[in-house]
Amino acid sequence: MSALRAEPFVSVSCLAVLHFVYILVVFLFARNDRLPVYNFAVAVFLLLGLADDAMRLAREKLAFDVVSEPQAKLSLERFEGNSEAETVTAFSPKKDFFVEKIDFVGNFFARSGRRPVQFTEYFHELSFTALGALFISLLSLCLGGTISSALTLFVFSMLVCLPMQFLTLGIYPFFHLTKGLSKLESAVVGDAVTEEYHDADTIYLEDTEMFGKHGARIVGLRVYNDMDFYEILSYAFSVFALVGAPLCNVFDNSVKEIEKKDGVKITKISVGGLEATFNRDRTIYIGNLAFMRSRGYFPKRNPEDEKKIESGQISILYMAIGGELCAKIYMQYTVTQRFEKFAAEMVKNGIHVGIRTLDPNVNEKMISALRGDSQISIKVIRPTPNELIPIGKHSDSGIVTSKNSHMIFRILEQCFNIKRIHSVQKRFRLGALLLGFAITATLMFLKLYTAIPSLYLVIYQLLWLLPALIYTKSKLK
């Protein structure tokens, strides 16, 4: 028998042991009372339990085959709060997650062994059913029944009232999801995934997901202090290559003419700009007007440019090298429709979307002006120089994919859908349990429970199983 703990098979195990003890009592002490036995019903319930275990093993194998593949993957990790949030008051590390590149998924078996909330609910339902069956049995004794008939009524009540449909329906949605995801090189690990991410407030992506690889372009460049044009572009290209997409791709059409400098290193990241060094002795500042003024550089303000920045038409970066202001770079950004679509879908599920970026142009105000959508706000965080998402980190995540970050969102949406399905299944189980008590009490008063064969008990349970199964299949995507 399964250990007496919160897991699906414990209920049918208890029923099997209870029925075995009941048969022994009937055989030894009430052989002539012609009391019914329920071998067929118990056998069907055991079969449902085995089907549940088979689906659990199958989904664990499918998930393990995905996570054990050697290629790099993406996972959904809980945010640890090292990065700088642009809106501090709206930031809660306990509820924020980010999509991270990893190449090893750890704690697979520990995560597979975690018991979700519905397991505890099953155990509570078993306890409540046993107490209800005991109450009905004691009531029958008070009404003049015998001990053997009370025992029969207790077993009968357990078989009728305990909702057995959870044995297959509890795991079926995850089995269906895992089977589909395995074809897409993705997986959910463990049954507790829906609880792990149900309180998610914001999920952060890399800025590439918002702007695409070519979502930024230079539309103008002004040179100060007679600096060499190609020298400026060479420094900008070197810094932008470290910043990452979309800035790192703005020079794609000119890489043959522009030489990249190898000694450039980012040393400090701020909301409006960043600081870099060249060969450790030459400082480079790139940022917006406020950032440059905070560093002691005072470019002349241009009201026309500021109006365009406010409207989201352009973004402007200033650049200083070796103590001299040298360039003003005009840029335009484009948000991908794919990002907009997924941001809207996440908002429907009560989750905000954010991006993690090093781009000095990108902030919440700039994104709001660029998108022109006040209904869906995008949060922004900036990693530290030592936190530039290295591949090779071990993951402890319930959602893993070898595809892209949008697949993470699709999986998460499916997990939320399964949580809603489990909520409705809980109502089915509660209805089956309460109606079962009503039926058992009625049959007890009419003294007809001994005339009900095992087949009828199975049919009653199937009458609950089939509509619950139809509902579940109709809601799975």
Tokens of 373: 């959508």
Domain with 306 in it: 216-333
By the 8 A CB rule, do 343 and 376 touch?
yes
Q: Is the pLDDT of residue 392 over 60?
A: no
Out of 333, 358, 380, a domain closes at 333
Query: Do residues 31 and 153 share a domain?
Result: yes
Q: Is the pLDDT of residue 251 over 60?
A: yes
State the pLDDT confidence band at 345, using cuts at 50, 70 and 90.
Answer: confident
Who has greater pLDDT, 257 or 147?
A: 147
Query: Do residues 21 and 122 share a domain?
Result: yes
Q: Is the pLDDT of residue 61 over 60?
A: yes
Task: For the beta carbon of residue 369, count every other beta carbon within 10 angstroms.
Answer: 16
Query: Do residues 153 and 63 share a domain?
Result: yes
Asked if residue 67 is part of any domain, the answer here is yes
Count how many domains the chain has.
Answer: 2
* Residues forming a β-bridge with 352: 202
Query: Do residues 162 and 238 share a domain?
Result: no
pLDDT digits (tens, 9 = 90+) for 8-40: 677 888 888 999 999 998 888 887 778 899 999
Query: Do residues 157 and 244 share a domain?
Result: no
Name the packing angle between helices 147-161 and 9-29 (round to 10°).
Answer: 160
Out of 289, 317, 333, a domain closes at 333
Asked if residue 93 is part of any domain, the answer here is no
Does the reported pTM lie above 0.85? no
Query: Do residues 31 and 160 share a domain?
Result: yes
Q: Is the pLDDT of residue 319 over 90?
A: yes
Asked if residue 438 is part of any domain, the answer here is yes
Asked if residue 111 is part of any domain, the answer here is yes
Who has greater pLDDT, 413 or 256?
A: 413
Report the chain's mean pLDDT, rounded to a whole number: 84
Query: Do residues 191 and 283 share a domain?
Result: no
Asked if residue 251 is part of any domain, the answer here is yes
Give the pLDDT score at 84: 54
Who has greater pLDDT, 87 or 187?
A: 187
> Is the four-CA dihedral 93, 102, 393, 380 of positive or negative sign?
negative
Query: Do residues 177 and 235 share a domain?
Result: no
What 3-state class would DSSP assign to 90? Answer: helix
Which of 41, 47, 34 is closest to 18 using CA atoms? 41
State the pLDDT confidence band at 89, using cuts at 50, 70 and 90.
Answer: very low
Give the pLDDT score at 80: 63
Give the pLDDT score at 185: 92
Out of 299, 333, 367, a domain closes at 333
Domain of residue 324, CATH code: 3.40.1110.10
- Look-up of token digits 């009560």: 350
Rounded CA separation 371/336 (Å): 10
Q: 3-state secondary structure string, 338-393? A: HHHHHHHHHHHCCCEEEEECCCCCCCHHHHHHHHCCCCCCEEEEECCCCCCCCCCC
**Percent of the chain clearing pLDDT 70 (strictly above):** 91
State the pLDDT confidence band at 167, using cuts at 50, 70 and 90.
Answer: confident
pLDDT digits (tens, 9 = 90+) for 291-315: 999 999 988 888 898 888 888 889 9
Query: Do residues 22 and 129 share a domain?
Result: yes
Query: Do residues 141 and 240 share a domain?
Result: no
Asked if residue 100 is part of any domain, the answer here is no
Query: Do residues 17 and 161 share a domain?
Result: yes
Query: Do residues 189 and 222 share a domain?
Result: no
